[in-house]
């Protein structure tokens, strides 16, 4: 195992457990103060968008940026850095500030400082300012990335003493043509939930199109696996073209074993450091086939099995994979990025199983991220499930690295500390199944899943640590029914304080950003299977 991999992995594991030994705030010694650092930007600080920011020092100081930055040498994303800046000098850096938390911090300490305090995994930086006793410590080390210039942050034995905290705020870009009813506050930035919503809307559009001989509609309906289904082949061709348009190397994989067959559409961008390590995003694009005549009978639709649109299951996940691919395709990654739309999930995970069982010689999958049935969850009156695995014991967290990474992202980037705390309590009280069925206000549950009902399972079977997201499953009345349509999702997600459309946009915004943040972490630091 490479020493860089080991050290980076320790960051995930140790940053959440070391004892916090420092304090913060203005002090009465010769250490720099928050006012000694001037943050310059062209207009305003942006949330959820890469932005060039200039830091200028009034005295000799060091500044810790605890957010993703783009290294000037490698041009890859890395999880934070520290700059040593002399009085009167400045340093410019491209930063990705959180998309859903306007409160940001920079830490200031003495010049050439090597040890710093950080927050706990399950708290935001604002929480840490109020009570830093639960945090931990990191140290500055030389950049270990190919072509990298700026320091990396790794676990350290001590916080190094006091720091001063610069508190700032951001504004997220928004589209001018939308209102709060349309989820306008989640409509801008590097990626956003509104784009996912519009993908789902287009994909499930039932407006008749007499020129479409595949499904007779504007959208891509009837995506049922089966030899000779023209609608299915039409969707394959379309999604292949979309990924090619993103600039990815696209392959349509066809697998057959006896009477079982599968078709996967995968877009690749080769990693520039570890090309044989694949980081995979996946969602199944097939939908539950119509199998019951009553599916089409007015008033009896919910008694039948199958759907034509599959808005929730799984046009939503398909749309999120396409959205992530659209932004990451232009990004230089260390590991090969793979964006896959799986077939035959509804028949028994045939597509993802065939892919995971037929990797090229010398290739390993570093991590897998699954997007299936997200949308009917928080911020509606339902739980958002963030599931990971593989699970070993069922009563303790075995994948501590993945668990804490999920917490670390959710607590600050999305300001979900309170919702995650409620999720821990609900999971402890009832486990996974109730979260799929009942109403829950303000609940985001992170847990190891013992179930195998989606495309993460084949990757766990080959020893890969996985992370995925979903909402209501068995408790959704349109699950695998003809009524699985976008308007029904909106109706189900309507709350007292927001429209169903707005809540869906925000739900997809949270999940898609969570997946991309996880990708950025995993590209720098793969999370190993700890079983």
Confidence of residue 5 (pLDDT cuts 50, 70, 90): very low
Pair 37, 90: CB distance under 8 Å: no
- pLDDT tens profile 411-432: 999 999 999 999 999 999 999 9
Whether residue 14 has pLDDT greater than 50 = no
Pair 35, 175: CB distance under 8 Å: no
Mean pLDDT of 151-161: 91
* pLDDT for 33: 96
Mean pLDDT of 23-38: 73
More confident residue, 18 or 188: 188
Helices (H), 107-226: 125-130, 193-203
Mean pLDDT of the chain: 91
The phi and psi torsions of 473 (rounded to 5 degrees) equal: -120, -90
- pLDDT tens profile 201-229: 999 999 999 999 999 999 999 999 876 78
Confidence of residue 89 (pLDDT cuts 50, 70, 90): very high
Whether residue 326 has pLDDT greater than 60 = yes
Q: Is 369 exposed, middle or buried (0-12, 13-18, 19+ CB in 10 A)?
A: buried
Pair 209, 217: CB distance under 8 Å: yes
Mean pLDDT of 252-258: 85
Whether residue 513 has pLDDT greater than 70 = yes
Q: What CA–CA distance (Å, rounded) separates 183 from 170? A: 18
Q: What CA–CA distance (Å, rounded) separates 193 from 259? A: 39
Q: What CA–CA distance (Å, rounded) separates 352 from 354? A: 5
Look at the chain and count its residues. 531
Whether residue 32 has pLDDT greater than 90 = yes
3-state SS of 371-424 is ECCCCCCCCCCCCEEEEEECCCCCCCCCCHHHHHHHHHHHHHHCCCHHHHHHHH
Whether residue 51 has pLDDT greater than 90 = yes
**Would you call the peptide bond into 390 cis, given omega within 30 degrees of 0 as the criterion?**
yes
Whether residue 485 has pLDDT greater than 90 = yes
Q: How far is CA 135 from CA 117, 155, 159, 267, in A?
A: 7, 12, 9, 39
First to last CA, the chain: 17
* pLDDT for 293: 73
Whether residue 449 has pLDDT greater than 80 = yes
Nearest CA-CA partner of 77 in 245, 371, 279, 260: 279
The phi and psi torsions of 280 (rounded to 5 degrees) equal: -110, 130
Whether residue 132 has pLDDT greater than 60 = yes
**Would you call the peptide bond into 379 cis, given omega within 30 degrees of 0 as the criterion?**
yes
More confident residue, 228 or 102: 102
Whether residue 11 has pLDDT greater than 60 = no
Two tokens at 55?
A: 């830091």
Whether residue 318 has pLDDT greater than 60 = yes
Which of 163-172, 183-192, 257-266 shows the lowest mean pLDDT across its residues? Answer: 257-266
Whether residue 259 has pLDDT greater than 70 = no
Q: What CA–CA distance (Å, rounded) separates 481 from 371? A: 20
Q: Is 133 exposed, middle or buried (0-12, 13-18, 19+ CB in 10 A)?
A: exposed
Nearest CA-CA partner of 284 in 205, 209, 351: 351
Count of helices and strands (H, E) across the chain: 11, 18
Two tokens at 207?
A: 């407006």
Tokens 């994948």 belong to: 399
Confidence of residue 29 (pLDDT cuts 50, 70, 90): low
Q: What CA–CA distance (Å, rounded) separates 508 from 439? A: 18
Whether residue 498 has pLDDT greater than 90 = yes
Mean pLDDT of 52-64: 97
Tokens 């299936």 belong to: 372
Whether residue 300 has pLDDT greater than 70 = no
More confident residue, 468 or 44: 468
Half-sphere exposure of 43 (CA within 13 A, CB side): 6
More confident residue, 72 or 299: 72
Which of 35-39, 140-144, 434-438 shows the lowest mean pLDDT across its residues? Answer: 434-438
In which region does residue 260 sit, left (phi positive, over 0), alpha (psi from -120 to 50) or beta (all else)? beta
* pLDDT for 70: 97
Two tokens at 34?
A: 């928050």
Q: What CA–CA distance (Å, rounded) separates 434 from 438? A: 6
- pLDDT tens profile 350-394: 999 999 999 999 999 999 999 999 999 999 999 999 999 999 887
* pLDDT for 295: 63
Q: What CA–CA distance (Å, rounded) separates 312 from 318? A: 10
Percent of the chain, pLDDT > 70?
92
Ranges of each domain in the chain? 3-169, 180-524
Q: How far is CA 502 from CA 182, 206, 327, 434, 510, in A?
A: 5, 22, 22, 25, 12
Mean pLDDT of 254-260: 78
Percent of the chain, pLDDT > 90?
80
Q: What CA–CA distance (Å, rounded) separates 172 from 185? A: 7
In three-state secondary structure terms, 7 is helix
Architecture of domain 180-524: 3-Layer(aba) Sandwich (3.40)
Whether residue 19 has pLDDT greater than 50 = no
Mean pLDDT of 479-494: 95
134-135-136-138 Cα dihedral, nearest 10 degrees: 180
Whether residue 169 has pLDDT greater than 80 = yes
Neighbours of 327 (CB within 10 A): 17
């Amino acid at each position: 195992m490479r020493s860089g991999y080991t050290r980076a992995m320790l960051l995930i594991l140790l940053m959440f457990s070391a004892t916090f030994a420092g304090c913060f705030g203005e002090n009465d010694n010769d250490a720099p103060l928050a006012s000694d650092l001037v943050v310059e930007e062209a207009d305003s600080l942006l949330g959820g968008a890469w932005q060039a920011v200039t830091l200028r020092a009034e005295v000799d100081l060091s500044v810790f940026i605890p957010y993703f930055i783009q290294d000037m040498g490698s041009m890859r994303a890395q999880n934070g850095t520290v700059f040593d800046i002399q009085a009167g000098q400045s340093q410019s850096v491209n930063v990705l500030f959180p998309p859903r938390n306007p409160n940001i911090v920079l830490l200031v300490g003495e010049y050439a400082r090597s040890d710093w305090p950080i927050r706990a995994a399950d708290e935001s930086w604002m929480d840490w300012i109020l009570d830093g006793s639960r945090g931990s410590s990191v140290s500055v080390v030389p950049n270990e990335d190919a072509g990298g210039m700026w320091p990396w942050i790794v676990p350290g034995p001590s916080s190094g003493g006091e720091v001063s905290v610069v508190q700032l705020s951001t504004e997220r870009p928004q589209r001018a043509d939308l209102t709060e009813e349309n989820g306008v506050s989640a409509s801008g930035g590097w990626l956003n939930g509104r784009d996912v919503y519009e993908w789902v809307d287009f994909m499930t559009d039932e407006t008749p199109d007499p020129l479409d001989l595949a499904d007779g509609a504007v959208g891509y309906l009837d995506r049922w696996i089966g030899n000779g289904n023209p609608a299915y082949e039409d969707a394959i061709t379309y999604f292949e073209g979309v990924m090619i348009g993103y600039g990815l190397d696209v392959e349509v994989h066809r697998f057959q074993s006896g009477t079982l067959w599968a078709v996967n559409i995968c877009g690749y961008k080769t990693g520039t450091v570890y090309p044989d390590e694949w980081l995979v995003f996946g969602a199944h694009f097939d939908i539950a086939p119509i199998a019951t005549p009553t599916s089409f009978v007015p008033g009896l639709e919910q008694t039948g099995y199958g759907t034509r649109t599959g808005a929730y299951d799984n046009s939503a996940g398909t749309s999120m994979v396409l959205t992530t691919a659209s932004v990451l395709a232009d990004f230089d990654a260390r590991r090969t990025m793979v964006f896959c739309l799986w077939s035959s999930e509804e028949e028994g995970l045939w597509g993802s199983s065939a892919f995971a069982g037929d990797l090229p010689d010398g290739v390993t999958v570093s991590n897998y991220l699954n997007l299936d049935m997200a949308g009917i969850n928080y911020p509606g009156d339902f739980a958002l499930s963030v599931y990971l695995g593989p699970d070993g014991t069922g009563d303790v967290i075995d994948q501590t690295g993945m668990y804490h990474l999920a917490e670390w992202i959710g607590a600050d980037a999305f300001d979900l500390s309170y919702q995650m705390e409620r999720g821990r309590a609900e999971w402890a009280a009832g486990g996974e199944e109730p979260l799929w069925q009942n109403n829950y206000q303000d609940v985001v549950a992170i847990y190891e899943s013992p179930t195998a009902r989606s495309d993460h399972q084949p990757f766990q079977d080959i020893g890969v640590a996985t992370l995925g997201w979903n909402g209501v499953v068995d408790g959704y009345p349109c699950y695998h029914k003809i009524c699985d349509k976008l308007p029904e999702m909106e109706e189900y997600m309507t709350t007292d304080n927001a429209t169903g459309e707005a809540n869906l946009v925000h739900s997809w915004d949270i999940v898609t950003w969570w997946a991309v943040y996880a990708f950025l972490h995993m590209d720098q630091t793969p999370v190993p299977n700890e079983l």
